Amino acid sequence: MQITRLRLSGFKSFVDPADLRIEPGLTGIVGPNGCGKSNLLEALRWTMGETSARSLRGAGMEDVIFAGTSTRPARDFAEVAMLTEIDGTETEIVRRIERGAGSAYRIDGRDVRAKDVSLLFADAATGAHSPALVSQGRISAVIAAKPAERRAMLEEAAGIAGLHVRRRDAEAR
Ligand code: ATP
Ligand code: MG
């Protein structure tokens, strides 16, 4: 699965609509402290169905909605649309949260359950807890790891960790 585009509105610091194209290959997010790099990663995980507000650095899920600044009023909803491509087929996943109304999900414009979004990403072997999403804190763990541990982390991120286990199983037979 390739994530090809991300549109955000009212999500955390992304108060104005933002439209990002994500090219194939490795994507890095760079910028000064506080510019919204981690918020962007959290937007990805949130759209894929993250249910833990704490892992999005909030006390409650509504904390992802733009909370306002000294010059701009708070928003009453946040919405993120993610465009994905699998084998040439495009799918759009949208998650929206409104104050007092909770989250709603859409796949290709149809209202769906959170579970349907989880299933979609599980089928594509990714999701909110995918080891391929390497957060800021874990980068230093990768650097500090011993070579064998680092290899295990990278294999996990690449989704091939299970292959060795399956191969060992096969060899043991
Ligand atoms: P660093 O380099 O320090 O890791 P970063 O680029 O990862 O920074 P983020 O943590 O993504 O930055 O963004 C932090 C900013 O987002 C802060 O200014 C914070 O006030 C703002 N922010 C977070 N949640 C909200 C919200 N609900 N409403 C408005 N602003 C928010
Ligand atoms: Mg950060």
Model ipTM value: 0.98
Query: Could you tell me the residue ranges of all domains in the chain?
Result: 2-128, 138-172
Which 3 state secondary structure label does DSSP give 153? helix
Query: 89-98 and 18-21 as β-strands: parallel, antiparallel, unpaired?
Result: unpaired
Ligand 1 neighbour 66 (Cβ under 6 A): yes
Rounded Cα distance between 8 and 31, Å, is 18
More confident residue, 138 or 89: 89
User: Does pLDDT of 171 surpass 80?
Assistant: no
From ligand 1's centre to the CA of 38, what distance in Å? 7
From the options 2.30.22.10, 3.20.20.140, 3.40.50.300, 3.40.50.10680, give the CATH code of 2-128.
3.40.50.300
Annotated binding residues, as ranges? 32-39
From ligand 2's centre to the CA of 36, what distance in Å? 7
The confidence score (pLDDT) of residue 87 equals 82
Question: Is this model's pTM higher than 0.80 or not?
Answer: yes
Taking CA atoms, 113 is separated from 76, 85, 106, in Å, by 22, 21, 8
Q: How confident is the model at residue 169 (pLDDT cuts 50, 70, 90)?
A: low
User: Does pLDDT of 129 surpass 90?
Assistant: no
Q: Put the strands of the sheet holding 102-107 in their side by side order.
A: 18-21, 2-9, 77-86, 89-98, 102-107, 110-112
Ligand 1 neighbour 11 (Cβ under 6 A): no
Highest-scoring range by mean pLDDT, 17-21, 84-88, 121-125, 147-151: 17-21
- The letter for the amino acid at 41 is L
User: Does pLDDT of 113 surpass 70?
Assistant: yes
The confidence score (pLDDT) of residue 17 equals 97
Q: How confident is the model at residue 111 (pLDDT cuts 50, 70, 90)?
A: very high
The confidence score (pLDDT) of residue 77 equals 98
Q: Which two tokens stand for residue 121?
A: 């990403």
From ligand 2's centre to the CA of 88, what distance in Å? 32
The confidence score (pLDDT) of residue 161 equals 64
Mutate to test the pocket of ligand 1, among 13, 54, 99 (most ligand atoms within 8 A of CB): 13
Which ligand 1 atom minimizes the distance to the CA of 136?
A: 4
The confidence score (pLDDT) of residue 58 equals 96
The confidence score (pLDDT) of residue 170 equals 66
User: Does pLDDT of 144 surpass 80?
Assistant: yes
Annotated binding residues for ATP, as ranges? 32-39
